[in-house]
A and B are shown apart, each in its own frame.
Chain A
């Protein structure tokens, strides 16, 4: 049973650049949520995608955008990177009707210098 996968594992970017992170959900899941986890903090919800549409969004600026593809995989894009965007970015998948039971991928560690 394939779990949630994310790529890349690590990424180093410079302030002002743009980054794209990728996620494939657990087999059978149709909903993808993205979270940002700063060091020493719990994950913070960014947004959730279902049927290729953004369904819910947390308190993140428009620099954070996403996409979901017909095969349920998803991308997170961050524009105009700031030093404060350095964090672990987590993708979680679920079934839409049980959206709260979320299974996390291994994460992408983004460092902005």
Chain B
């Protein structure tokens, strides 16, 4: 099975700062990429999808994709304590609808 790698963290940033979350994937054929947010004890929530190289912005969130480097990132601007959660990167691969990384735990300090 193809792999998705994320730094498990925790990543700690002060309130108002930019949080940068990174993900690498092994399947060069992947065409779509997803970021999920998971609060402790809750289920994953889809927050961003990106399909082509470059940046995609949605409110305070920006997803960045570089297929040549097999790298996708999520930037959170003006981080708030409510952004504290685990962020999961997910990529469709082969016969698997979504292969997830282990997630990066983000802590925004007020």
Taking beta carbons and an 8 Å cutoff, which residues of A are in contact with B? Answer: 33, 40-45, 48, 56-59, 88, 90, 92, 94, 99-107
Contacts and interface: CB of A to CB of B under 8 A. Distances in A.
Contacts of B46: 101-104
Interface residues of B, number: 23
28 contacts: A40-B102, A41-B102, A42-B4, A42-B88, A42-B90, A42-B100, A42-B101, A42-B102, A42-B103, A43-B44, A43-B88, A43-B98, A45-B97, A57-B95, A90-B43, A90-B44, A92-B97, A94-B97, A99-B92, A100-B92, A100-B97, A101-B46, A101-B49, A102-B46, A102-B97, A103-B46, A104-B36, A104-B45
Contacts of A56: 95-97
B102 A107 contact: no
B1 interface: yes
A33 B101 CA distance: 17
A45 B99 CA distance: 7
Given A43-B44, A59-B1, A99 B97 contact: yes
Interface in B63-110: 88, 90, 92, 95-103
Interface in B30-47: 32, 34, 36, 42-46
Interface of B: 1, 4, 32, 34, 36, 42-46, 49, 88, 90, 92, 95-103
A74 to B, nearest CB: 14
Contacts of B100: 42-44
Contact of B43 (A40, A41, A104): A104
A12 B25 CA distance: 36
A56 B99 CA distance: 13
